[in-house]
Amino acid sequence: MAEQEASGLQVLLHTLQSSLDRESILAILQLLGDLLSVGTDRRIRYMISKGGSEALLRTLVDTARTASPDYVILLPLFRLLAKVGLRDKKFGQKALELEALDVTLILARKNLCHSQNLLHCLWALRVFASSVTTGAMLGINGAMELLLKVITPYTQKHTQVIRTAAEVLAALLKSKSNSRRAVNRSYVPRLLRLHQDWHSHDTAHSFVPIRRALLLCLKHIAKLRSGREAFLAAQGMEILFSIIQNCLDDQSLEPVISIVLQILRQCYPKSPLPLLTTSSAYSFPVPGIVTSEAPRVLTEEDYEDDSEEEEDKDSDSEDVKEEDDDLETDVNKLSSKPGLDRPEEELMQYKAMCLELSCSFEELESKPGDDLNSDETEYANHHHIPTAASPKGLFLNKDQISGGQEKEVSVQTSLLSRVKMGRSSIHLTSKRGPGMNSYRNVHSNDPGIGSSGSDVSDIQASFLEDAWDMDAISCPRISASFSNSTKTRETAEFIDQLLQTHLKPMVFHDPYLYMAKARRTRSVADFTMMAFPDFWGHCPPLSAQPMLQRKCGVQRIKILEDVRRLIQPSDIINKVVFSLDEPWPLQDTASDCLQFFSAFESGNLRKAIQVREFEYDLLVNADVNSTQHQQWFYFKVSGTRAAVPYRFNIINCEKPNSQFNYGMQLTLYSVKEALLGRPTWVRTGYDICYYKNHYRQRTAGAGAASGKCYYTLTFAVTFPHAEDACYLAYHYPYTYSALMTHLDILGKSVNRKQVYFRQEVLCQTLGGNSCPLVTITAMPESDRPDHLEQFRQRPYQVITARVHPGESNASWVMKGTLEFLVSSDPVARLLRENFIFKIIPMLNPDGVINGNHRCSLRGEDLNRQWLSPSAHLQPTIYHAKGLLHYLGSIGRRPTVFCDFHGHSQKKNVFLYGCSIKETLWQAEATVGTSNLSEDVSYRTLPKILDKLAPAFTMSSCSFLVEKSRASTARVVVWREMGVSRSYTMESSYCGCNQGPYQGLQFGTGELEEMGAMFCLGLLVLELKSGSCSHQLLTRAAALLSAEEESLDFYLQRILWRETNSSHDDDGDSDDSKYSCQ
């Protein structure tokens, strides 16, 4: 049957080409038209496969070359060609070979005054032009000149012909040769005039497709540098800017608005950043760093020429695509275990970091770890330390936040009552408008009501006194107590007075101890000031803040404001008000402009330029010894006015997309609010968007790749008070000094007879700072040999964090983990009694201290150095890996390894793990996976967390091994140490789009909760394993029974199953047990 159909179609096509009978040709064309007008594209593709395109083109050529072309035949023939040509990828080449291009152009020229015939010719030309090669040939043969004769100024006649001609011209101009020809023949001003004419007359918007087609012509020409120059010379920016001003809110003009914005962005003159050099303002002399070349004047040749400009996007799509071509498909690389990367005898140095395996009971009690230094204990105030019997709860109640008296912080609820399904409700702050004060929504108190009315009045009165330097108060000197300056001493005394009378009690924080730790912290720039929020402390807000509802069209408005700055510069101030690169003081405190400062730990702001009275361009510093990784920012701004919207534009961001486009806000800390009893980082900002701007980095030299693009993060902020000092940050800051303060206070808070807490130094960093290593477990019950043996046989869990300095959310998760593990929560006790936790809470102290976003002082990503780290160049990675190797060498390989990170382009919390089979399957590798054996227990922990943690989602987890991640901690620990449960845990900078926290941004409380929930997940993982002891199962069952009313049924079901099943089945080797629940 199929053969008969094929032969029948071939007979028709053959007859069409050979017949001279007019009626027969028309009948065949009618039949083919009927066949192709119904059904799917399969019929057209089938006809193409049988030579249908060639038959139609030959018929066209033969008919057109007669003395008097028969348009009764040609018109249906053109309609068929237009339909078939859209589905034939080689149609243009076939038309060129069969000389159909020339024939069609000739027919079009002959029918300039016959609109119906001309329209049919244009349909065919539109299909021919879809191929760049044939489009270029049409351009050589004069097609563009012909089309410009057809495209007339505004008229209501023959508009279908004009529209089709404009669309054909736009298709032809996709060819660079045609675009160059158009520039040389001055088509750009002509097209601009045509568009202006149609726009001004088309008041009813009846001919938007014509206007759009003309704009597409300009867009394609503007891909060339010469095209952009011609556009600018013809005042194209001014013309299109004027046209679009009154159109932004008209939905019917969306096709026009989108193209106009793309053209304006394409043609905005590219320029270098307003910096002397893109290298970091800070440099640190380390081996292997080559001094960067002196800056040179940049020219137009330094910038990209023919790159495709991104389309104007204002949508909610934020999907991050995983690139399959990066997946590792070499089975040997996935499964082979490399040899030790150092002499085996070197591993013995790590024995001293595992004293819990060798010390006697008396030695364990007497070796708590590094003590506070004398200069630190002098200023330490331990009222903030919760007792071992009543540790800090993860969430503080209202009285603890706003009460006036010191209170011992107690556990409000156990961790088990906060599992995902156990949460009854999440308290939301009210939605706020653009100009509303974030603090007034986060806190229930009014601005004038603090811890006590008289104290607040005294502070408010002191704000009015000229004797007090608010700027100095808001950024205290690290060694203010030892200064010889009278004014500095007075400021220090005032700060001390404030601490004594107005500091709210904050658990695990002490400003005096923080100052002592900050004095010992070594920075590249030798910081002498402290950021007030880090010194004073932070209380989590009472409730989570909702994601910002993005205003429709906000990105377009911001782009047009940038264009206005270019073409209407009369109101531009363009005054540098802060710069790390300038040796002289730039800030005039007597002026009305804001004052900026960032020379403190973790601070990052390189330059501030006042653009207009209330608008500033900001540039963040590149990572030390680097020219890139500009994303993290943290700076102080003072001299604020209340109820005035300020706009800030951070113009040298690097990432191509950001959660700032999808509901995320930056964070703000007000010094006055803190002194009024509300020391809280809050989410703030409105009219936020993130988009590619016109700044480019110069290329490295002749023949180098195009210059790097930069992105603008723009946001508006209304400050809560006049003459306030506020800190703005990318995310909740967490400094190295804060960590060291926290660890010391944690060490003082534990009951040494019950909790083994040891803080020691893993190594010294390149910058001369100590990298802390923390060991947490339970003390043995007694000095009996069996109790000591149980103590030493506990399996290890290894957790690391903050290898990327800008991922401060990882430190807040780690903070929750540490505080939970030393708490009196029953789950924490079980964990301590059954595991030894080795924790490196900050793998990159130098990067954190110096305000880096991603790198170490060598300007390299430390999470790409795990394959072969150097003890001299990457000491923290070298010794972290050495410690893991040592544990493996003595048969104590960790059960779980997890590295805490932050994620800038996804929501929720999720894990990345490693799987050979999933990687090969996803990559569609030809290697068979049926013979590969793999421990599938790597999926168990994320599945557990998906059930427990409100912020966690399994759907975002991935277990693929990418080539580009071969040198990361996750992959190296999995491959070299054989830890099947080796993970990276990613926490969003933004918040959640699922679960109980859906629509909410993360606060520090939610991040700390995730750290505790991770620990609970480790316990459940152990309960599900075949090696779990009967004693642990029994104790856990009793604990869960006590929490029955508030606990998710999921956990009780696990315990019921495990306590009633045999331990012969190894839950770690068969994940199907989990999936069948």
Average pLDDT over residues 393-401: 35
Query: In which band, very low, low, confident or very high, does the pLDDT at 46 lie, cut at 50, 70 and 90?
Result: confident
State the Cα–Cα distance between residues 405 and 288, nearest whole angstrom: 55
The pair of structure tokens assigned to 317 is 């799509």
The pair of structure tokens assigned to 276 is 């002397």
Evaluate whether 639 touches 723 at the Cβ level (below 8 Å). yes
pLDDT higher than 50, residue 431: no
Looking at the chain, the whole-number percentage of residues with pLDDT higher than 90 is 57
- A 10 A CB-CB count for 1026 gives 16
Q: Nearest 5°: phi and psi at 911? A: -115, 145
Average pLDDT over residues 1062-1075: 40
Looking at the chain, the whole-number percentage of residues with pLDDT higher than 70 is 79
For residue 600, what is the DSSP state?
Answer: B
Query: In which band, very low, low, confident or very high, does the pLDDT at 14 lie, cut at 50, 70 and 90?
Result: confident
**pLDDT at residue 1042, rounded to an integer:** 64
Residue 727 forms beta bridges with which residues? 636, 669
Query: In which band, very low, low, confident or very high, does the pLDDT at 318 lie, cut at 50, 70 and 90?
Result: low
Q: What angle do CA 809, 812, 813 make, to 5 degrees?
A: 90
Short-list 856, 594, 539, 555, CA closest to 690? 555
Q: Where are the beta strands (DSSP E) in 320-471?
A: none
Among the residue ranges 246-250, 513-517, 847-851, 943-947, the one predicted with the least confidence is: 246-250
Average pLDDT over residues 389-410: 35
- A 10 A CB-CB count for 425 gives 6
Cα separations (Å) of 316 from 162, 420, 661, 689, 991? Answer: 36, 27, 8, 12, 15
Average pLDDT over residues 2-13: 67
Query: In which band, very low, low, confident or very high, does the pLDDT at 407 lie, cut at 50, 70 and 90?
Result: very low
Q: What angle do CA 990, 991, 993 make, to 5 degrees?
A: 125
Query: In which band, very low, low, confident or very high, does the pLDDT at 312 lie, cut at 50, 70 and 90?
Result: very low
State the Cα–Cα distance between residues 585 and 595, nearest whole angstrom: 11
Q: Per residue in 35-58, is it b (16+ CB within 10 Å) or e — as a string?
A: ebeeeeeebbebbbebbbbbbbbb
Q: Taking all residues of the chain, what is their mean pLDDT, rounded to a whole number?
A: 83
**pLDDT at residue 1031, rounded to an integer:** 79
Q: What is the pLDDT of residues 1011-1053, one digit of tens each?
A: 999 999 999 999 888 788 777 888 877 776 666 554 555 565 5
pLDDT higher than 60, residue 395: no
Average pLDDT over residues 229-240: 96
DSSP characters over 274-298: SSS-SS-S-----TTPPPPPPP---
Please report which helix (H) or strand (E) contains residue 471, including its range.
helix 470-474
Evaluate whether 144 touches 169 at the Cβ level (below 8 Å). yes
Average pLDDT over residues 338-342: 83
Cα separations (Å) of 58 from 29, 64, 71, 85, 533? Answer: 13, 10, 16, 14, 79
Question: Which carries the bigger pLDDT value, residue 815 or residue 426?
Answer: 815
pLDDT higher than 70, residue 878: yes
Average pLDDT over residues 394-403: 34
Query: In which band, very low, low, confident or very high, does the pLDDT at 232 lie, cut at 50, 70 and 90?
Result: very high
Q: Whole-angstrom distance between the N-terminal and C-terminal Cα of the chain?
A: 53
Q: What are the residues whose beta carbons fall under 8 Å from the beta carbon of 542, sequence distance 6 or more?
A: 398, 401, 427, 442, 443, 444
Query: In which band, very low, low, confident or very high, does the pLDDT at 52 lie, cut at 50, 70 and 90?
Result: confident
State the Cα–Cα distance between residues 1067 and 325, nearest whole angstrom: 34
Among the residue ranges 57-61, 736-740, 833-837, 1038-1042, the one predicted with the least confidence is: 1038-1042
DSSP characters over 305-337: SSPPPPPP--S--------GGGB---HHHHH--
Query: In which band, very low, low, confident or very high, does the pLDDT at 566 lie, cut at 50, 70 and 90?
Result: very high
**pLDDT at residue 249, rounded to an integer:** 81
Q: What are the residues whose beta carbons fall under 8 Å from the beta carbon of 77, sequence distance 6 or more?
A: 29, 56, 59, 60, 63
Average pLDDT over residues 484-501: 70
**pLDDT at residue 409, rounded to an integer:** 34
State the Cα–Cα distance between residues 558 and 562, nearest whole angstrom: 6
pLDDT higher than 50, residue 869: yes
Evaluate whether 595 touches 639 at the Cβ level (below 8 Å). yes
**pLDDT at residue 365, rounded to an integer:** 67
Question: Which carries the bigger pLDDT value, residue 94 or residue 312?
Answer: 94
Cα Rg for the chain, rounded, in angstroms?
35
Which position has the token pair 């427990």? 948
Burial class from Cβ neighbours inside 10 Å (0-12, 13-18, 19+) for residue 294 reads exposed
**pLDDT at residue 104, rounded to an integer:** 92
Of 673, 860, 986, 1006, catalytic = 986
State the Cα–Cα distance between residues 667 and 647, nearest whole angstrom: 15
**pLDDT at residue 457, rounded to an integer:** 53
Report the range out of 7-21, 42-56, 171-185 with the highest average pLDDT: 171-185
Please report which helix (H) or strand (E) contains residue 129, including its range.
none
Short-list 284, 770, 808, CA closest to 517? 770
Among the residue ranges 196-200, 437-441, 568-572, 1050-1054, the one predicted with the least confidence is: 437-441
Q: How many helices (H) and strands (E) does the chain have?
A: 42, 18
Strands of the sheet containing 607-612, edge to edge, are 575-579, 607-612, 615-619, 645-653, 709-718, 686-696
31 SS3 class: helix
The pair of structure tokens assigned to 164 is 């089709």
The pair of structure tokens assigned to 671 is 């010094």
Average pLDDT over residues 133-144: 92
Average pLDDT over residues 224-241: 95
Q: What is the pLDDT of residues 630-678, one digit of tens each?
A: 999 999 999 999 999 999 999 999 999 999 999 999 999 999 999 888 9
537 SS3 class: coil
Query: In which band, very low, low, confident or very high, does the pLDDT at 1060 lie, cut at 50, 70 and 90?
Result: low
Among the residue ranges 176-180, 354-358, 427-431, 989-993, the one predicted with the least confidence is: 427-431
pLDDT higher than 50, residue 382: no
Average pLDDT over residues 190-207: 94
State the Cα–Cα distance between residues 478 and 471, nearest whole angstrom: 15
State the Cα–Cα distance between residues 851 and 891, nearest whole angstrom: 39
Cα separations (Å) of 504 from 491, 508, 539, 675? Answer: 20, 12, 9, 9
**pLDDT at residue 452, rounded to an integer:** 42
Q: Per residue in 128-150, is it b (16+ CB within 10 Å) or e — as a string?
A: bbbbbebbbbbbeeebbebbbeb
**pLDDT at residue 950, rounded to an integer:** 94
pLDDT higher than 50, residue 315: no
pLDDT higher than 50, residue 742: yes
State the Cα–Cα distance between residues 1008 and 819, nearest whole angstrom: 9
Evaluate whether 619 touches 275 at the Cβ level (below 8 Å). yes
Question: Which carries the bigger pLDDT value, residue 296 or residue 803?
Answer: 803
pLDDT higher than 80, residue 863: yes
Cα separations (Å) of 640 from 164, 598, 726? Answer: 57, 16, 8
**pLDDT at residue 592, rounded to an integer:** 81
pLDDT higher than 70, residue 996: yes
Average pLDDT over residues 391-411: 35
Is 986 among the residues known to form the active site?
A: yes
State the Cα–Cα distance between residues 778 and 757, nearest whole angstrom: 8
Q: What is the pLDDT of residues 149-166, one digit of tens each?
A: 999 999 999 999 999 999
pLDDT higher than 90, residue 301: no
Q: What is the pLDDT of residues 890-928, one digit of tens each?
A: 999 999 999 999 999 999 999 999 999 898 888 877 666
Question: Which carries the bigger pLDDT value, residue 372 or residue 508?
Answer: 508
